[in-house]
Structure 1
Amino acid sequence: MTERFDTLAAEIRACRVCQGDLPHPCRPVLQGSASARIRIIGQAPGTRVQASGRPFTDPSGERLRHWMGVSEAEFYDPRLFAITPMGFCFPGLDAKGGDLPPRRECASLWHDRVTASLPDLELTLLVGLHAQRRYLNLPASASLSSTVLRWRNFFPEYVALPHPSWRNSGWLKRNPWFENEVLPLLRSRIREILQRTL
């Protein structure tokens, strides 16, 4: 029997498995419903999302919505989009002030159950290498650039994306094919799904 997404989401939000390893309170952040047709799997919440408790409430979210061609209202409609990062809590900062990688506990504890609770998915966006390695069964040696460059191999079920962080602005400038080739088809695929859903 398939686990209900809303019941599972409540269990995830109550999770405190990593509390002893974090310098701040656990605050698992996710969104969705069993009816969601599109899933976004990013890395982990950053400091702003830790504060807001809502996914992608930062400049990365603005860029991601632009890439997807969706409004803020559409993006935050849990009937349409499930947002389930590799790590549900903000993992903290490294010595240089960047976000640490997602904690590994989340993937093993929750991700298979989340996948099973979303039976109507038509498209999954894999934002960043952590999500791509898990969901595309990539070797540890796989790079983000090589994975995103092979995006057609995974389309239309998956789209591999770089992280929309400002830190990746240089990558985007060096790889204009991403904006010219990937984004038009991504937007078209998303709009086609939404038009059938709404």
Structure 2
Amino acid sequence: MTDDLDRLSFDELVRQVRACTICKDVLPLGPRPVIQLSESSRILVVGQAPGRRVHETGLPFNDPSGDRLRQWMGVTRDTFYDEQKMAILPMGFCYPGTGKSGDLPPRPECAATWRKALLARLPDIRLTLLIGQYAHAWHLNGQHRSVTENARAWRQYWPDIIPMPHPSPRNNLWLRNNPWFEQEVVPAMQVRIAEVLGCEDGQ
């Protein structure tokens, strides 16, 4: 199927992704792929999967996690939602439902079906933000270290990739236990993002 996708135009590929119903029988609220991208996007944001609020609004990171993420990045909502600047491709494109301890993992069908073809159409990406364990596992060459270990090793991937924890309020304890992330990584990330975007984009 990958070869067939490679023959599609960018617009047709994105249209097919947004119309995807592969997982319709197992999604509690039905399919609604939430992605953002342009062939000129310069920063790639890789999260897990849309939460319920994002599913309802169709806007990625339109929740408290997104507020913290934009604060970490040092960008405004306008910049964040400018597809010419930011591509947002979670590991799962649809809301997977909720389990006992939060949202369920992203459905694996998304990455298997669409991810390589979409990433191949993003030639101008200069910085990739990997948010959470599923993004780390897929993008860091199959390395299975913990989120904490990957985030601590951020200089190993600099300046092209930044492995990060999830900005969810559920991670407040992690952030309290790992103050180095907001003390060291966040300031460096903000400088790098401003550099990639070619301007200072303050709050």
What's the TM-score, normalizing by structure 2?
A: 0.92
Query: Which runs of structure 2 are paired with 1:25-174 in the superposition (5 Å)?
Result: 25-96=30-101, 98-140=102-144, 142-174=145-177
Instruction: Report how far residue 185 of structure 1 moved.
Output: 0.8
Instruction: Report how far residue 45 of structure 1 moved.
Output: 0.1
Q: d(CA) in 1 for partners of 2:10 and 2:66?
A: 23
Q: Match for 2:131: what amino acid?
A: V
Q: d(CA) in 2 for partners of 1:75 and 1:139?
A: 29
Instruction: Report how far residue 6 of structure 1 moved.
Output: 3.0
Q: Match for 1:72: what amino acid?
A: R
What is the total number of aligned residue pairs between the two structures? Answer: 195
Aligned to 1:8: 13
Identity percentage of aligned residues: 49
- Runs of 4+ in structure 1 displaced over 6 angstroms? none
Structure 2 counterpart SS, 1:88: coil
Structure 2 counterpart SS, 1:126: strand
Note closer, same or farther for the CA distance 1:149–1:2 as it changes in structure 2 (3 Å cut). Answer: farther
Q: d(CA) in 2 for partners of 1:88 and 1:41?
A: 11
Instruction: Report how far residue 2 of structure 1 moved.
Output: 7.6
Structure 2 counterpart SS, 1:19: coil
Note closer, same or farther for the CA distance 1:136–1:185 as it changes in structure 2 (3 Å cut). Answer: same
Q: Does the 8 Å contact 1:5/1:32 carry over to 2?
A: no
Deviations 1:59-97 (A, max 9, x none): 00000000000000000000000000000000001134x
Instruction: Report how far residue 180 of structure 1 moved.
Output: 1.0
Q: d(CA) in 2 for partners of 1:2 and 1:162?
A: 35
Instruction: Report how far residue 35 of structure 1 moved.
Output: 0.2
Q: d(CA) in 1 for partners of 2:17 and 2:93?
A: 8
Q: d(CA) in 2 for partners of 1:10 and 1:150?
A: 37
Q: Match for 1:64: what amino acid?
A: L
Instruction: Report how far residue 193 of structure 1 moved.
Output: 1.1
Q: d(CA) in 2 for partners of 1:135 and 1:118?
A: 15
Deviations 1:82-113 (A, max 9, x none): 000000000001134x1000000001101101
Instruction: Report how far residue 23 of structure 1 moved.
Output: 1.9
Task: Tell me how large the CA RMSD over aligned residues is.
Answer: 1.5
What's the TM-score, normalizing by structure 1?
A: 0.94
Instruction: Report how far residue 137 of structure 1 moved.
Output: 1.6
Note closer, same or farther for the CA distance 1:32–1:146 as it changes in structure 2 (3 Å cut). Answer: same
